[in-house]
Every structure is written in structure tokens, then in C-alpha cells.
Amino acid sequence: MATSSNHAELIALHEASRECVWLRLISQHIQSSSGIHINTEPTILYEDNAACVVQTKEGYIKSDRTKHIPPKLFSHTKELGKAKAIEVQYIRSCDNVADLFTKSLPTTIFKKYVHNIGMRHQRYL
């Protein structure tokens, strides 16, 4: 159970990075067995919590605000970043289209995010 929003973001980032590594391995296996060029670029994970981005890049920093967070949440993601498997980048909350799936949004923002993820109305003839 998370005890702060920062802790919750670190848990989510940790789990997302684990899933990302698994998906990359499966994808690379399929690509190599099919003779397709393997993409070696790091997978970008977007995070809208600036403190969380810094903590994952610098590693565990013990302070009064982080002493309750297990160090593995920091180190695993940092090591994946060093290995160039993932790259954690900051994204402003107003540009975070993932909020479409996690929050109740005003209609205008909802429509903007739906458009930004590539959903379009299908017109039938």
C-alpha cells in the first residue's frame, strides 16, 4: 500500500518498467526469429511527477519523505535506465493522455486526449 502520491507513482513506474522489459524481450524474440531488424532504442516511459523522475534517475535518496519507500523501487528502474532498456521522461500533467483511462475529465479535455491517442470516428458509406 502506498503512503504518499510519490510512493504510488514509484510503484506504478516500477511495475510498468518490469512489464516493459518483458514485452521488449518477447518483441525482440519475435523480431529475431522473423529476420526483422531489432529496435535497440530504449522504451520511453512518461511520468508526470517530476520528483519521481529525478529519483529514478539518481537512485535511492534517503530523506524524511522517502524513508518509508523500499529502495528496490528506485534501484530497479535506475538500473534499467543505465542498461538503455527504458528511459523515464517527464511529461506535464496537462499533456498526459494516460489520464484518459484513470480520471474523470471535462468533455473538452476528454476529446483532446481521445484525438491524441489516435482514435477517430469511422465513417460508413
Q: Note the pLDDT tens digit of each residue in 63-112.
A: 666 667 777 777 778 888 888 888 889 999 888 888 888 889 999 999 99
Q: In the chain, at which residue ranges do the beta strands (DSSP E only) sit?
A: 43-47, 86-90
pLDDT of residue 85: 84
Which residue range is the domain that position 108 belongs to?
A: 94-125
Residues 81 and 99 in one domain: no
Q: Note the pLDDT tens digit of each residue in 104-115.
A: 999 999 999 999
Looking at the structure of the chain, the number of domains it has is 2
Q: How far is CA 88 from CA 32, 43, 75, 105, in A?
A: 26, 8, 13, 25
pLDDT of residue 107: 92
Residues 45 and 57 in one domain: yes
Residues 49 and 62 in one domain: yes
Q: What percent of the chain lies above the pLDDT cut of 70?
A: 90
